[in-house]
């Protein structure tokens, strides 16, 4: 592909993404006229109109949509080749796009991202800590950390990197005041603080010899923020049932005390997911290597969990 054609394609893609020749020109460091001439050359080369132009906006024609998808992929592949060669020289480039559950991401993934960016100052990161579902392919995410089961998908690699263990706990002050529940059935006489998900309180699961048992309240407090529930428990408001990656440090220090430990439910896997349809980008491989290096001898939240 001749160099000027590659520049014309870049101008076309920028115009589509930004919605105007002026914005595309600013993003590429060109004049508006240069971007317009690039579009004209492309349309002349393919013999088809690619963009509908009005005084207010640009929109793709049907043919323009087809070439936009194809040319976007071509430039992504070229960027990947450049990044791969950069990694061979010890300098991964580009933007790492990562998503993880909200509390888990803020507590345990963010420190890794900060260390990663310090190690590679030329890299950038777009991070989404959210409990909503993010599609790796459709949302152009390099990797995702998910908890629990995942759908089988030949285009996605799934790698278990840890475990989510729920623990029921409260502050020493609360337990001294209200007593210590000995079996899950005792929870009915206590102040229990429930996490809300999807407009519903999440039931607490326990493992009994005869099988799983669920406690659904009624709860004294319902909240859609696990960090807020932890704070409420620390203040002596009641019992919580949360993952140890949130409460582990408090359990270790004694700020919270675990109860009903013999009835802990089975842990859920914490998985790292990334697309497999193409070779891993250097930045993705470098971040996976960092994560494995930091967590191979044990994930940090498990170090806080009492045996």
Q: Where are the alpha helices (DSSP H) in the chain?
A: 3-18, 21-28, 32-46, 62-88, 102-104, 110-119, 172-178, 226-234, 244-253, 282-295
Distance from C-alpha of 230 to C-alpha of 169, rounded to nearest angstrom: 10
Distance from C-alpha of 282 to C-alpha of 285, rounded to nearest angstrom: 5
176 and 150 part of one domain: no
Residues 110-120: tens digit of each pLDDT: 999 999 999 88
Q: Which residues lie across from 268 on neighbouring strands?
A: 164
Q: CATH number for the domain including 100?
A: 3.40.190.10
Distance from C-alpha of 250 to C-alpha of 70, rounded to nearest angstrom: 52
Amino acid 200: pLDDT = 86
Instruction: Please check whether residue 39 is in contact with residue 54, taking contact to mean a CB–CB distance below 8 angstroms.
Output: no
155 and 273 part of one domain: yes
Residues 118-156: tens digit of each pLDDT: 988 889 999 999 888 888 877 888 899 998 876 666 678
Give me the phi and psi of 233, to 5 degrees please: -65, -40
Distance from C-alpha of 123 to C-alpha of 119, rounded to nearest angstrom: 9
76 and 15 part of one domain: yes
283 and 293 part of one domain: yes
176 and 257 part of one domain: yes
68 and 150 part of one domain: no
288, 169, 179, 157: which is closest to 240 by C-alpha?
Answer: 169
171 and 254 part of one domain: yes
Per DSSP, the three-state class of 205 is strand
> Among 46, 66, 88, where does a domain finish?
88
> Among 66, 88, 110, where does a domain finish?
88
Total number of domains constituting the chain: 3
154 and 280 part of one domain: yes
Instruction: Give the N- to C-terminal CA distance of the chain in Å, as an integer.
Output: 62
156 and 275 part of one domain: yes
Query: pLDDT tier at 185 (50, 70, 90 boundaries)?
Result: very high
Amino acid 84: pLDDT = 60
Range of the domain at 251: 166-263
99 and 57 part of one domain: no
Distance from C-alpha of 277 to C-alpha of 120, rounded to nearest angstrom: 26
Q: CATH number for the domain including 79?
A: 1.10.10.10
103 and 74 part of one domain: no
Residues 262-305: tens digit of each pLDDT: 999 999 989 898 877 556 778 888 898 888 888 877 777 775 44
Query: pLDDT tier at 83 (50, 70, 90 boundaries)?
Result: low
243 and 208 part of one domain: yes
Q: How many CB atoms lie within 10 A of CB 92?
A: 23
């Amino acid at each position: 592909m001749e160099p000027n054609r590659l520049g014309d394609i870049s101008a076309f893609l920028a115009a589509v993404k930004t919605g105007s020749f002026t914005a595309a020109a600013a993003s590429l460091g060109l004049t508006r006229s240069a971007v317009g001439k690039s579009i004209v050359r492309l349309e002349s080369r393919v013999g088809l109109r690619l963009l509908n132009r009005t005084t207010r906006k640009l929109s793709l024609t049907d043919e323009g949509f087809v070439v936009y998808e194809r040319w976007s992929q071509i430039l992504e592949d070229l960027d990947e080749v450049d990044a791969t060669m950069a990694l061979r020289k010890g300098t991964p480039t580009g933007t790492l796009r990562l998503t993880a559950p909200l509390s888990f991401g803020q507590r345990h993934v963010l420190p890794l991202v900060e260390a990663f960016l310090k190690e590679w100052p030329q890299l950038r990161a777009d991070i989404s800590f959210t409990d909503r579902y993010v599609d790796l392919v459709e949302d152009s995410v390099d990797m995702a950390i998910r908890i629990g089961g995942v759908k089988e998908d030949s285009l996605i690699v799934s790698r278990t990197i840890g475990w989510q263990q729920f623990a029921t706990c409260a502050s020493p002050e609360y337990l001294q005041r209200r007593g210590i529940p000995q079996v899950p059935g005792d929870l009915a006489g206590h102040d229990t603080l429930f996490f809300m998900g999807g407009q519903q309180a999440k039931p607490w699961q326990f493992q009994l010899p005869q099988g799983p048992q669920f406690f659904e309240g009624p709860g004294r407090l319902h909240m859609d923020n696990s960090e807020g529930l932890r704070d409420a428990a620390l203040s002596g408001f009641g019992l919580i049932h949360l993952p140890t990656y949130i409460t582990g440090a408090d359990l270790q220090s004694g700020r919270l005390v675990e109860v009903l430990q013999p009835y802990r439910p089975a842990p859920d896997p914490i998985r790292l997911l990334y697309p497999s349809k193409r070779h891993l980008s250097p930045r993705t491989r470098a971040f996976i290597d960092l994560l494995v290096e930091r967590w191979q001898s044990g994930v940090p939240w498990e170090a806080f969990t009492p045996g």
